[in-house]
Amino acid sequence: MLGKNILLCVTGGIAVFKAAALTSKLAQSGAHVKVIMTESACKFVAPLTFQALSRNEVYTDTFDEKHPEKIAHIDLADWADLVLVAPATANIIGKLANGIADDMVSTTILATTAPVWVAPAMNVHMYGHPAVRRNLETLGSFGYRLIEPADGHLACGYTGKGRLEEPENIVALLKDFFSGGGPKPLSGKTVLVTAGPTIEKIDPVRFLSNRSSGKMGFALAEEAANMGANVLLVTSVDNLTPPAETEIIKAESAEEMYHAVMGRYKEADIIIKSAAVADYTPVRVFDKKMKKQPGNLTLELKRTKDILKELGERPDKPFLVGFAAETDNLENYARDKMERKRADIIVANDVSREGAGFAGDTNIVTIFKRDGSKRELPLLSKHEAAREILREICREIEKGEKK
């Protein structure tokens, strides 16, 4: 981060106070920070606060040209090594997605060729609105990087996804990004990741599934891409923003996921099976909705194909990583799974622990390896956990190459 030019664009929301802390932490890390604020952001925190923390003048008005020898928004656009929008409101996300440039922030971002990162903060229902999701997908197609908001209590009184990611976590992401001056650890490698639940149809209305959200798999895909990998993401999930420059392969059922993975596994150097694939699927799928009948209903199920086990038995298998979500006997079940499936690493978590269950933004995992060792990670965001898992994969591959 030392000497890097970070252009922080602050837009209006209660999370502006976190942007002040973020400015301080960026400056402490050695970065040069300049701040642009929207008119709405200035209503929450005065520009003087950001001036004191960044030790640079703060920009708020496109037409306030302090230096006649240069145009401020073009000069800032060219100056930046990275543009960070934090907090990013639904309004600025919509503007950027549609090429609207009607204030200092949107005009500058439209003019920059630097990487742009967007850290949303808003009400949980606003974040889930189809227009906002569509706009975020559009930004992803531009190559913008999304820093997912966290779950928690929001200023509006709701509890859910919408909190600006913590400043220290944002700084850590930037440090990782800028530390890649040389070859990235996964450059030249293809990583296939499976994510989320499978959906096993019973009839046109009903299905069997599980509580997996896909967040861990999406985090692994994004962090693998950040480490230089070519990423294939096999998933049924459609309510998360996919990482930029990642090939998405849709697979709804266990059978579809089996064919998607087996059809592409030869391309992969690493396969990370983080999806929660159903163990059973209905023997019969009804064409029409089953009508309620008197008495109990017996639904006959059959075993699905074991994708991880079949991959492990292939003589040309890539480096293979499995996941184990358990509620007890974590180490015994994880090591047994590693042996039975011939995986190289098993990442296990006790989903009954607070912070390690489904759907949240954090996880507590233990990484088990074939040499008998293990590494226990503390409570981390799923992106932080994903980075540590990928680093362990890189270490194991490097050890194998040295043998």
Q: Are residues 100 and 196 in the same domain?
A: no
Q: Which residues are catalytic?
A: 156
Q: Are residues 157 and 238 in the same domain?
A: no
Cα separation, 222 vs 143, whole angstroms: 12
Instruction: Encode pLDDT of 223-271 as tens digits.
Output: 999 888 999 999 999 988 887 779 999 999 999 999 999 999 999 999 9
> Is 63 within a domain?
yes
> Is 288 within a domain?
no
Q: Are residues 346 and 369 in the same domain?
A: yes
Domain end point (choices 158, 178, 198): 178
337 is in an annotated binding site: yes
Q: Are residues 165 and 267 in the same domain?
A: no
Tell me how many domains the chain contains. 2
pTM given for the model: 0.63
Instruction: Encode pLDDT of 193-234 as tens digits.
Output: 999 999 999 999 999 999 999 999 999 999 999 888 999 999
Q: Are residues 110 and 196 in the same domain?
A: no
Q: Are residues 86 and 195 in the same domain?
A: no
Residue 113: what pLDDT? 93
The pLDDT of residue 152 is above 90: no
279 is in an annotated binding site: yes
Q: Are residues 79 and 219 in the same domain?
A: no
> Is 185 within a domain?
no
* Of the candidate ranges 12-26, 31-45, 138-152, 252-266, the one whose mean pLDDT is the lowest: 138-152
Print the domain residue range for 148.
5-178
Domain end point (choices 137, 152, 178): 178
Q: Are residues 65 and 148 in the same domain?
A: yes
Domain end point (choices 128, 151, 178): 178
> Is 291 within a domain?
no
Q: Are residues 143 and 202 in the same domain?
A: no
Q: Are residues 265 and 365 in the same domain?
A: yes
Instruction: Encode pLDDT of 305-349 as tens digits.
Output: 999 999 999 999 999 999 999 989 999 999 999 999 999 999 999
> Is 338 within a domain?
yes
Q: Are residues 164 and 76 in the same domain?
A: yes
**pLDDT > 70 fraction of the chain, expressed in percent and rounded:** 99
Q: Are residues 198 and 163 in the same domain?
A: no
> Is 290 within a domain?
no
